[in-house]
Amino acid sequence: MGLELYLDLLSQPCRAIYIFAKKNCIPFQLHTVELRQGQHLSDAFARVNPLKKVPAMKDGDFTLVESVAILLYLARKYKVPDHWYPQDLQVRARVDEYLAWQHTTLRRSCLRALWHKVMFPVFLGEPVSPELLAATLADLDVNLQVLEDNFLQNKAFLAGPQISLADLVAITELMHPVGAGCQVFESRPKLAAWRRRVEAAVGEDLFREANEVILKAKDSTPVDPTIKQKMMPGVLAMIR
């Protein structure tokens, strides 16, 4: 059995892995795990990932379940172009630096923006309070400024003159608030120019394909009550 990827493109880490694999012509069998249908909570998926989260990867008898670890595994195994995860120690450290920073900062605030503005009403049947939404968007703005000032600075990409895994993770994170209708790039010309460079490096068709689901997040239909009951504890823990 070859490489198998268990993904839902509603998920940011899944989109990053999907784009990376497709862009680098890495052959894989796609298993779609529908988060909104609770398929990640099934016994069948638990046999792949006992943590019941996507993404997950199987390579023969080897299973890997953390998105950054999966990206690094694929980059190393398939000998992709060096710019994705450079051999130069200091440039590679810049990629590692972003990947370490983003988990509890930008990724979290992007995820909260999507859920508080769009997805949470689907689960609760009513919007979050204006105060909570305002605090969420303010936190997002702080992390966008850090991304721009501390990581992008005046470079073409986050780690230097070429696209890397850091850019791929960052741009897929930012599509969460974009999908929620947040004005992420409109008042930030430096980030907007970076986004255009990333899209061009990835390929506009692939970028559009991978992000189509999240850009339609506002059209999400109500979740089945039985599924909602199972998912709510995890949802609350994720977005608080």
Label the pairing between strands 56-59 and 29-32: unpaired
Comparing 232 with 120, which gets the higher pLDDT? 120
Q: What is the CATH number of domain 84-239?
A: 1.20.1050.10
At 96 the pLDDT is 98
User: What is the pLDDT of the chain when averaged over all its residues?
Assistant: 92
**Cα-Cα-Cα-Cα dihedral of 190, 175, 20, 147, to 10°?**
40
Does position 237 have pLDDT exceeding 60, yes or no? no
Does position 112 have pLDDT exceeding 90, yes or no? yes
Average pLDDT over residues 14-24: 98
Q: What is the CATH number of domain 3-80?
A: 3.40.30.10
Average pLDDT over residues 41-60: 95
Domains of the chain, by residue range, sit at 3-80, 84-239
User: Per residue in 123-155, pLDDT tens?
Assistant: 667 788 999 999 999 999 999 999 999 999 999
CA-derived radius of gyration, the chain: 18
Average pLDDT over residues 40-68: 96
At 37 the pLDDT is 87
Report long-range pairs for 100-104 (Cβ below 8 Å, ≥24 apart). Answer: 101/151, 102/169, 102/170, 102/173
Confidence of residue 122 (pLDDT cuts 50, 70, 90): confident
Average pLDDT over residues 162-174: 98
Comparing 140 with 224, which gets the higher pLDDT? 140
